[in-house]
């Protein structure tokens, strides 16, 4: 037996599905508060000094947090090639909009204080708002479209991918609802971060906006579930499933008349995910009102974990369903890389992922403490 056969192909596929979820949750739980702070910037900070306080709460950490997104894209490319091909080509304009918005963030950090002009700085502050709001919205819109099915298909002759959707077709009512949920979730998270890291008026305003965002998360998450149950058809596999078979989606048959809630009837333990989504947001609201700091951020992360896990567990084993040809839908069992590729990647991940997590934890420990007006007005030049 060769080394990679020590772990069954089926188990490796399941492990990499879980790791993909870990990377998405890691990005949302870390860079999510960066996006939230950017979205809140024009509202929680009115003066130049206040905005500098808000910016400097995320300035030292946003680059490290964004690594989760980069690693997630790389892992998708290596572990789930068809998923990468369909999503990055079909959602090309949406991805470009996200990329453009994210580019505004480092440019805004570096250039807003290069001139004393109030108009110059205000323009860059709105650019930072765009850099937070647009990705938050589009990420949610993308999830909403995935739940409804994406208009792509495979050519049976040569397995070429054909995407037949449009950018504006992505902006449907359910997808926009998911987009608003995503914005509310990141605003809640960003406010939780500002309560922990900022001081004075900025933290107080963040507490108020964060409380409203937490309530919005509860309402929008509930509405998303109701529409998912009543108005959005799920997908189901109708043929025998070969969990260790070749990565060819066309070897199965599937239908678009199922329910995304069916998994919860089969595996009742999965209900813990939506429960955590609701309880985390409710606890974050109460913690914000009680002026707790660390607990607020932890509850916000718990809500993010629950909401994203709900999507993954509801769709399992589907990863990217096809609204044009349900048979072309990508699942955990037919869209992965080879057995040996997944094994080698797992070994590499087990070596380097703990190092990355440990280094990140050390960075946050070193940077622990609040940012106040005295910090940003220090003439040492270390603050944005």
Instruction: State pLDDT tens for residues 267-283.
Output: 999 999 999 999 999 99
Does a structural domain hold residue 378? no
Rounded Cα gap, residues 198 and 368, in angstroms: 11
The answer to whether the beta carbons of residues 342 and 12 sit under 8 Å apart is: yes
Per-residue pLDDT at 1: 54
- Of all residues in the chain, what percent are helix, strand and coil, respectively (each to 5)? 70, 5, 20
pLDDT, tens digit, 9 for 90 and up, residues 81-94? 999 999 888 888 89
Q: Look at residue 82 and tell me if it is in a domain.
A: yes
- 83 falls within a domain: yes
Q: How far apart are the first and last CA of the chain?
A: 57
Domain that holds residue 331: 3-371
Judge whether 180 lies within some domain.
yes
In a domain, 380, yes or no: no
Q: What is the pLDDT of residues 236-270, one digit of tens each?
A: 999 999 999 999 999 999 999 889 999 999 999 99
Whether residue 303 lies inside any domain: the answer is yes
**Number of C-beta neighbours around residue 243 at 10 A:** 15
In a domain, 112, yes or no: yes
The domain tally of the chain equals 1
Residue 379 maps to a domain: no
Q: Is the pLDDT of residue 140 over 90?
A: yes
How much is the pTM? 0.94
Question: Buried b vs exposed e over 39-71: b needs ≥16 C-beta within 10 Å?
Answer: bbbbebbeebebbbbbbbbbbbbbeebbebbeb
Q: What is the pLDDT of residues 315-345, one digit of tens each?
A: 999 999 999 999 999 999 999 999 999 999 9
Percentage of the chain lying above the pLDDT 70 cut: 98
Residue 382 pLDDT greater than 70, yes or no: no
């Amino acid at each position: 037996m060769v080394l990679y056969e020590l772990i069954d192909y089926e188990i490796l596929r399941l492990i990499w599905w879980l790791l993909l979820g870990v990377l998405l949750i890691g990005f949302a739980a870390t860079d999510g508060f960066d996006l939230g702070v950017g979205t809140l910037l024009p509202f929680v900070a009115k003066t130049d000094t206040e905005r500098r306080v808000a910016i400097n709460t995320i300035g030292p950490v946003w680059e490290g947090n964004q690594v989760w997104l980069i690693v997630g894209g790389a892992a998708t490319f290596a572990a789930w090639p068809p998923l990468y091909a369909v999503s990055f080509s079909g959602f090309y304009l949406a991805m470009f909009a996200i990329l453009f918005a994210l580019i505004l963030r480092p440019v805004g950090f570096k250039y807003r204080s290069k001139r004393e002009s109030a108009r110059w700085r205000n323009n860059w502050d709105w650019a930072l708002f765009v850099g937070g709001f647009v990705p938050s919205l589009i990420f949610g819109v993308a999830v909403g479209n995935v739940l409804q099915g994406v208009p792509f298909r495979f050519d049976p002759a040569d397995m070429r991918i054909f995407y037949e959707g449009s950018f504006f077709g992505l902006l449907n009512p359910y997808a926009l609802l998911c987009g608003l949920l995503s914005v509310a979730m990141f605003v809640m998270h960003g406010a939780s971060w500002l309560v922990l890291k900022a001081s004075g008026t900025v933290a107080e305003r963040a507490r108020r906006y964060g409380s409203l965002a937490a309530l919005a998360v509860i309402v929008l998450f509930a509405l998303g579930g109701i529409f998912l149950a009543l108005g959005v058809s799920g997908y189901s596999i109708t043929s025998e499933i070969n969990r260790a078979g070749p990565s060819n989606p066309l070897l199965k048959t599937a239908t678009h008349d199922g329910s995304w809630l069916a998994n919860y009837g089969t595996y009742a333990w999965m209900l813990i995910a939506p429960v955590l989504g609701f309880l985390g947001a409710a606890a974050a609201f109460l913690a914000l009102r009680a002026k707790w700091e660390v607990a607020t951020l932890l509850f916000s992360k718990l809500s993010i974990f629950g909401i994203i896990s709900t999507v993954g567990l509801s769709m399992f084993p589907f990863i990217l369903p096809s609204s044009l040809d349900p048979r072309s839908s990508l699942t955990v069992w037919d869209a992965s890389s080879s057995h040996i590729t997944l094994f080698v990647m797992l070994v590499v991940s087990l070596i380097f992922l703990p190092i990355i997590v440990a280094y990140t934890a050390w960075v946050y420990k070193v940077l622990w403490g609040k940012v106040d007006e005295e910090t940003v007005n220090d003439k040492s030049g270390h603050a944005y």
